[in-house]
Structure formats: C-alpha cells, structure tokens
Amino acid sequence: MTRTLATARRVLQQLSHDRRSIALIVVLPSLLMTLFKYVFDGSPAVFGRVGPQMLGIFPFTIMFLVTSVTMVRERTSGTLERLLTTPLRRGELILGYGLAFGVAALVQALASSATAIWVLGLDVNTPWAVELFAVVDAVLGTALGLLMSAFAVTEFQAVQFMPLIVIPQLLLCGLFAARASMPTVLERTSDVLPLSYAADAFTTLGRTSGFGSHLAKDLAILAGCCVAALAGASLTLRRRTP
C-alpha cells in the first residue's frame, strides 16, 4: 500500500504542475454543461431531461481521454520501464494511477455537478446521489482509459480509441432513444455497456427522489466495471512501447 500511495502522490504532483490538464479535468466539464444549458435556452425541458445524463457523460469522456494519453506518454517516455525495475508491482502501479486519477475525477465531478445544480439550476431531487454517480462515471472513464492505453503505441492512437470505446456507448445508452425501442441486437449490446447503467441512473435521479434498489443495482454494476477494468489494466500493462 505504501508503494501504491507513493505512485498516486507522484502522479498528482505531475498533474498539479500541468495547468492544461487541470483545466481540461476541472474546468472543461463545467464549461460544457454551461454551453449545453444555453444551447437549449429556448427549450428548458430538454436541459432538465438530458442534463443529468451529461453530468455522467462529460466526466466519463474527458477522464478516459486524459488517462489513456497520460499512460501512453508515461510508457513512451520510459517512466513505466524505470518504475517496473523497482519492487513496485504492476497491480500496485495501476492502483496508484487509479487512485490519483480518481482524486482528479472526484474534483471534476463535484465541480461539474455543483455548477449544473446550483449555478445553472438543474432540477434534481437527490443532489448527493447525482454527485455520487458523476464521480463513479469519471472513475469508470479513468479505469477504461488505463485499460485501453495498453493497446496504444502512440498518444495519437490513444485518442483514436475514444470513438471506439466512447461513441458506441453514447449512441446505445438511451440518451438519444429509449433502449427498449432499439432493435433486439442493439438492446442486448447496450445491456453489456456500462454507460447504459449510468444513463439509466441519471434518468431515474432526474425523475424521482431517494435511493432505491434500482439505483443501488446500477451503482454496483458501474463499480464492478471499474474494478474489472483496473484488473484488466494491471494484466495488460507493458513496460514499454514495442
């Protein structure tokens, strides 16, 4: 655990000196929420209906991009190779990166949720649950970014994974059309995509109050996907780019 925390501390220190990454992680989701709000300024019902899902989608997408690119950069620069010549294990390394970006995801989700709810007036019945799911979605993006970074040779290739991993989930999660109305093959595909459960949770939170069994199930599935992605990342981690 000591080595894991030391890794997390190093990554956070690096992030703290990168103003562009800080702006991308913390500021951009709030700016996108503000833009989304005023794009539909003449149709406030659209913001009220789709806004909650955006609180999950924006952090998920941005954290996936930042994490995957950062990990590829660490590998191509030789940092991972040097770290793995020490007693630090792959699992400890991935967990350390996951903790560091998890802290960044927490700050990001809290900032974007606070902006949407208390500045832009997004009407939700259970703000704390909205923030919880926003954090979990951001962590999920981090975990998937760590996993997919193992398959990218360059930072540009890491960016190219975003259309493969993120866009299909956006199309099938129920944001644009109810999943039940999709062809059977697409509905079954959406059932195994984690963002579908995030979208379902935010839709529920926008309509009802409290934290029922349906939301608990969605949360458990998302948390399980985070753990599975981190485990997969630790198994596929390479020391250097071939």
- How wide is the angle at C-alpha 68 spanned by C-alphas 235 and 16, nearest 5°? 115
Mean pLDDT of 58-80: 84
pLDDT digits (tens, 9 = 90+) for 111-140: 888 888 888 888 887 888 888 898 899 889
**DSSP string spanning 200-223?**
HHHHHHHH--S--HHHHHHHHHHH
| pLDDT for res 218 | 92
- The pTM (predicted TM-score) of the whole model is 0.87
CA distance 55 to 76: 33
pLDDT at 240 over 60: no
Q: Are 173 and 196 in contact (CB under 8 A)?
A: yes
pLDDT at 89 over 90: no
Taking the domains of the chain in order of start, what are their residue ranges? 2-236
For residue 112 the two structure tokens come to 């974007």
pLDDT at 239 over 70: no
Q: Are 138 and 106 in contact (CB under 8 A)?
A: yes
pLDDT digits (tens, 9 = 90+) for 141-153: 989 988 888 788 7
**DSSP string spanning 59-73?**
HHHHHHHHHHHHHHH
| pLDDT for res 238 | 66
Confidence of residue 208 (pLDDT cuts 50, 70, 90): confident
- What average pLDDT is seen over the chain? 85
